[in-house]
């Protein structure tokens, strides 16, 4: 499974290469949520648990609805496992950069590194959508951007002023 995760992170594998296991998916998804809450708290943000849960729920809803629309419900456990496992890794990498951020200093290399991680994250998500939904990569990118936009807009709406 670690080789498949490595392949997912390099856009060389898809969720179909992961095992079909609801128990494994549930454990990895729980770790993904917990890691999101803990890293958010350590960065000092407010309402981290709510923000993490909202983001995960939007992603979960998008995956369920899109797989159903495409007639690929059987791919759900592998797709959720792919998103959770890659999300853990990408979040940890991003966290490594974010803890170094100092709002009092100009840090262009750190900003560039974070931007690269952000782009990589979108590409990984697009690759997962591409494989799970059997669509071209361009559609996977579009879906990733739309889901990210919905998540961001929802957080702004629900957590504005915080």
- Per-residue pLDDT at 162: 54
- Per-residue pLDDT at 51: 86
Its sign, for the CA torsion 88, 92, 93, 99, is positive
> How far is it, in rounded angstroms, from Cα 90 to Cα 98?
12
- Per-residue pLDDT at 60: 96
- Per-residue pLDDT at 127: 98
pLDDT along the chain (162 residues), means of 10: 96 97 97 91 78 92 98 97 97 90 89 94 98 98 97 89 55
- Per-residue pLDDT at 70: 97
On whether the CB atoms of residues 8 and 85 are closer than 8 A, the answer is yes
- Per-residue pLDDT at 119: 97
SS3 string of 50-109? Answer: HHHHHHHHHHHHHHHHHHHHHCCHHHHHHHHHHHHHHHHHHHHHHHHHHCCCCCCCCCHH
């Amino acid at each position: 499974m670690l080789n498949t995760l490595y392949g997912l992170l390099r856009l060389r594998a898809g969720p179909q290469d992961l095992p079909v296991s609801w128990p494994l998916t549930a454990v990895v998804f729980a770790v993904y949520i917990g890691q999101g809450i803990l890293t958010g708290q350590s960065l000092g943000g407010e309402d981290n648990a709510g923000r993490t849960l909202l983001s995960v729920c939007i992603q979960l809803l998008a995956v369920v609805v899109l797989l159903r629309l495409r007639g690929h419900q059987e791919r759900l456990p592998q797709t959720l496992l792919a998103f959770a496992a890659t999300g853990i890794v990408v979040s940890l990498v991003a966290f490594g950069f974010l803890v170094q951020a100092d709002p009092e200093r100009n840090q262009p290399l750190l900003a560039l590194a974070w931007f690269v991680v952000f782009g990589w994250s979108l590409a990984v998500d697009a690759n997962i959508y591409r494989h799970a939904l059997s669509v071209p990569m361009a559609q996977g990118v579009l879906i990733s951007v739309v889901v990210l936009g919905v998540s961001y807009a929802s957080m702004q709406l629900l957590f504005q002023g915080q």
